[in-house]
Structure 1
Amino acid sequence: MGEALHSISGLLKRLISPDRHLVTLLVLVLGVVASFAAWRMMDRQLALYHQVEFNWVAQNRNRIFQRGITSAVDAIQLSGNFVENAEVLDLVRLRSFYQKLLFDHPWLSSLSWLPEKGVAVSVEGEADLQSGAIQESLQRARTLRRMTASFQLSRYGEGNAVKVYIVVPVLSPHLFVGDRSSDGSSLLGLVVGTIDISQLANLSISILEPRGVEFLLQDMTIPHEPQFLDFYASRLGSAHHEGVMATNWQEWRRRQTLYLSEYFQVADRVWSITCAATPQFRSAEGFSHAPSAALLVGLLLTFVTTYFFYWTRRSLIERTALYEELAKSETTLRVFFEQSPDTILIVDRDGLVRAINRELPILGEKNRISSPATGKHFVSILPQELLDVCQSAVGMVLQTGQPQQFSHQVGKFYWWEVRIAPIRRENHLIETMVLFTNVSERRTLELKALRNARLASMGTLAAGIAHEINNPNNAVTFNVSLLKRSWHDALEVLQDYHQTVREFSLAGVPFHRAVEAIPRLLSGISNGAERISKIIESLKALARDDMGSMGHFVDVGEVVRAAVTLLEHQVKRHTDHFTVKIDGGATEDGLLLVWGNFQQLEQVVINLVMNALFALPERSKAVWLQADCVDGMVRIMVEDEGCGIDPNVQPFVFDPFFTTRSDRGGTGLGLSLVQEIVTNHRGSIQLYSKPGEGAQFTILLPLDRVEEGRPRAPRARSVRAHGNERSGHV
């Protein structure tokens, strides 16, 4: 026994040692706390179940008693209705009807008809009409002309039975004109019914099995002055409570037990029934000791678990000391392995991953490869795009022992260079090392260089085309002005001739119509030539070699107008509703000036508007282009009524090579270039879109002012949209 106590003492000392066994002590404390919490919760749940079951039992008794009272009151009211609706009152029929009501309601001990004029009729005994309780009820019924109940219950008989008087006034609007009340009705008489409360309680309660519930009956018409009516003890031996009376019911109410009170209307009075559980009330007998049993079991399991945890932790501490030296030697090698800029997989001859140095971010979070991949087949952790080619290359390395290298595109954003090398041990090939190098940025730079070269070629071609078109267009412009002057000079001669000859034709057109049509035709030719000149100027501006220069003031309004001129053909192909609004009213000089590059900003507007046009499902949908000033920032906003952008796609729209129009020639560089240009101009771009509701791109650029010594970008020729320079529809 002494050795056992010594062992327990030693265990407790080791448990409370804070340096090595704090976790074990924490397990013990948490287990004890959890056991007591479970005991407390089960005890409260059991008490709640007792309360719920008691409420159910008490409500059953209350409802049966209330239904008995209600049916008796309804019978008394019915007897009054019988008299009120009778054209000629037949006392024999009245007595027979009263007897039928008394037979149907055994707890209705008597019914009396007290006419204002005539002979009274009583069945099953006359009520004590001289008692103060009934006199007071009679007087109130006569005065109020409504059903009343006696204030106090009357006790009678050897068993101290209890009865209550219900008085129902019988009114008639056709008789006794001199005794009419304020509502125009006359009092024919009073019906007095006597309800035997004791008999009703006994009949009602006897229907239910005894459960150890007793109840107190009170008059709560005046809430702060409750009046004792009667008390009914349980049938399960609570005889010591049968003496509860009007003088001591408060003591019964202060007992520590379960209570339930309900209120109901009796004539013009409000009664309450308060049920209380006696010591004989039983509920959930089979679970009464469950909380204590749960506490004991919880404490036992806690001590067993703590003991097991202590010895397990002691064993782990000893093993940890053995592994520390091995871990130190492994750390150095792993540092080199994990610090490599490439993602490295070690794959054995069975294709299982033996090691991996970092995550491989391919196609977002859902396809990432991380350390839990160790031990899995390498095929199961690669994306589908790399699956076949990597499996074939690894098999080739294991078969030939020669390294393999290839580049492969994964998804829309990533290019990976994959190198596979054999790992030999004692001249035996046992594993392969697979290295993944992300070359997406390099590929992006290569494609950007290719794109810039294509743009340069397009710029040279555009400049040549503009020059070739400009020469004949200048001739058209010169000749049409000459034709206008010639027509003006010839018009007077033709008009004189017309007055002489009366009527003649020019090119088959009557002179009076030609006078109106020819000036219109010449103006159309002139406007067309001017429009060609504007397009040529825009092409020349787009083809300039200063795409990288950021040393000019640029009017964003002019940028928008120039872009709209170049896009007019595309706009007409895609939509009937294209709105352009330029508002510089919020600035001092009315100009939307920023410091940057005209051609780059023009490219931004063109790309955004083209994307908006391509997103339209039909020509009836609209596109809005707006430039204005908000809070000291120049705002460019492009909005469309297209199909919108999926929320899962929105985080990638500015990534290089991302496109949803690859089948229609999309390269995925448009929005990437837009973001780069906006960032270079110290601005920001935001996207707001919901699927099916279109998309809105908003660009904010810092507003600038013209200062001495700072150059301004060459003005593009003003572009008007239907004659309105500030806003219009194209």
Structure 2
Amino acid sequence: MFDNLRRYAATYAVAIGGILMTCLSSWNVRQELQTSHLKEFQWAAGDRIQAVRSVVDQGLDALLEIRGLFYAAQGIDEQEFLVFTDSILKRRPYIHSLLWAPLLHSPQQALPGSAPGTPPASSATANADDLAIAGPQRVPVLLAAARSEPAAAQGVDLNTTPELAALLQRARESGNIAVSGRIDLVRPGRETVRVIYAALPVYAPGHSRHPGALPFARKQADPLGFVVGVYDIEELVHVAINLLEPRGVEVLVRDDSAGGDAQFLHFYASRLEPRAAVKASGLMPAYDEDQPSMVVGIPVGDRSWSIICVATHTFRSAEAFTEAHWSVLVGGFLFTALLAFYLVRSRRELENRIQLTLTIYEREELFRQLAETVDVVFWATNADVTRLEYIGPAFRQLAGREAMLDSLDGAAPSLLLDVFEADARRTLVEAIGQLQAEGGRFTVVLPVLRGERDLRWLRVCGFPVREAGSPLSRIVGFLEDITEHKLAEDALRDSEAKLRTLFNHSPDLIFTVDGEARILLTNRPLPYPVGGAGEKRSELILPPEVREGYLQKLQQVFASGRIEHFQYNSSDATWWEIRMVPISSATVATTVMAAMVVITDITENRKLQWQAIRSARLASLGVLSAGIAHEINNPNHAILANAPLLARIWQDALPILNEYEQEQGSFLLAGLSFEQARQTISRGMRDIGENAKRIQKIVDNLKHLGKQDRGHMNELADIGKILPAVVTLLDTRIRKHTDAFTLDLPAALPTVRGNVQQLEQVFINVIVNALESLPDRSRSVKVSARADHAGNRVIIQVEDQGKGIAEEVMAQIGEPFFTTKAESGGTGLGLSISSSIVEKHGGILRFEANHNPGTTVSIDLPVSTEE
């Protein structure tokens, strides 16, 4: 009806005039827009439904052809059956197998040797009562033809499968073709195929059952057997629809005679949308539910199938140009209608062009805003890189070439390449060449020098663009200024390198451990193995006696999150400190993920501590010596005061005693004769005075040595007085080591400006070292002082005949803590401090080996220029 209205609408419009024609044309256009898509779909869906129905009928007709062959020939052997069915299989590729299965009434009945020509004697007259007595019937496969492997091998009883038994029973009852529901045909080692079985009973001549016979009628003749066809559902639908033009129609085939999920037979996705898939329930995909659809039921044997066609979103409509043949048939009467259709079509195309133009304009405007707003430079060239098709406006800021950008159409690619120097340009050309050869994208970072000092870094990316039928149509890409990122990345890399260098060159051994004390990271190769393969135990670095304490401290670090440390000394007299610092998680500060262990050699620090303690003790000794000197001075002053008095008393009493000896003769004093007592007392009085003065001199030197040194360097030091005082102070030690000590001083020496106490310390250290180097008391030590020829410097020399100094020791003799007397308590600081003091006085401390065993130490000091 709608077609008739459309056909005569233009005639009515022309007859009633221009106004009605306009209204009818408008209505026609509206109706065309609403129904054209549906009409086209209905035609396409009808073609597909008809194609499926035709193919199904042709497939079932194959069974009739085989039955006709049986009726035409009295007997057919297997070869004839295969020759006949081969042509059927070639013409109908969706037929999987064709079978002939005779009906046997007892298990003992043997298979016939060929297809039926005449019925078996028992089969022709058998009735239902006889079958009930005979027992279960068999339907074994006698002849089978298939493309590769038949659905059932020869001898397989089809009646043992419930689905096939029901199918054969329906075929016997109806006398016509019976079709099964969907059956999954399992093929070992191959994909499972969804098939349907169709069975056609074959009766003996003259016993053919009438199709209209009632199912419950008895005394009917049984068939000789069944022609069974196995049909691949997917291939059947594919053969039916594949020859049709792709129009964007999806086809769902369902079995209405089945129930539940068994209704679903096959879903044929549109070739324009091959990824579509049907639901598990056999319904169409959700995105197709609102699309036009057509449902048609077709009979398939004794079953009813539904064919559902749904238009996809990509349904290809032939539009209204297919109406042109109707206009030719009606001639001039429909000319106006054809003209109106043309106008509608033109208007539709115009609207499409306008919409396309607006879309293109909006996209171009969006791209222009994007290209002019961002700092990224977009570019595009043809596939051969002979023409620069586009380059973004931001290129002006990058290259500073405004004049060259005024006429961009057809510009040479050199406009882009000339921004870079020769090496960078060569790298970019190679990257583009590799893209042309391999088709992959590329990303390179290249330097650009703007001016003499402005160095920028650009990231250049290129991408291939391909169109249908062309391997490469153009190359597009962008340039991005990544100077800030590059500088930050270089700074970060440099910082990491410095940190790694600092970490690796640290004098300490640094490593991180986990909670099990396994080493995770270390700043240097470990000196010896610390565990088996793949396991590094940190406690094995330490001496055995320290390991248990180390592990306990490490457990405390992981438990409390606090820093722990302890010290230990090794067998080579070195001291070490271990510091364990917890490393917490960045998200959970209370969770200790690992610990950093730092092992530091603190031997020098320990020696400095010992030296500080020793210096403190020496300072205390100095204070104590000053106190002792004060206590000694009191009785010594009494001795000095009374010794001269006693000497004068003895001198006054001596004439009396002499006179008494003359008168009385010799007498005894303290058990001594007067002559012996006179000599002893005179000598004793003299020794008491001299020793008291010596005690006073020693005490004065001790007091001077114990006096606090405030570090003043402006004192006038008389070397001629300092050296005798030092010798007097060291008198006991001198007499202990040698019998040949000599102090050689001139009558007068120029003064030296500096610190008297520090110079005394230097002379004491040098003389003590000379005395301790003597192997026996027969060797000598000579201390001398003199002014040089110019009179500008005073040279003090200490010469000994000791063991001498070896060359390797001479090279390290002034270094702190270097000593050859460690076993006797030497600290190695004496000569180092002495050298420092001499340098502060502007002098030089030198060591020279003598020709004979021994060493000469020279102290060269500048003379004070002030009177």
Query: What is the TM-score with the length of structure 2 in the denominator?
Result: 0.36
**The structure with more radius of gyration:** 2
Higher relative contact order (CA 8 A, sep 6+): 1
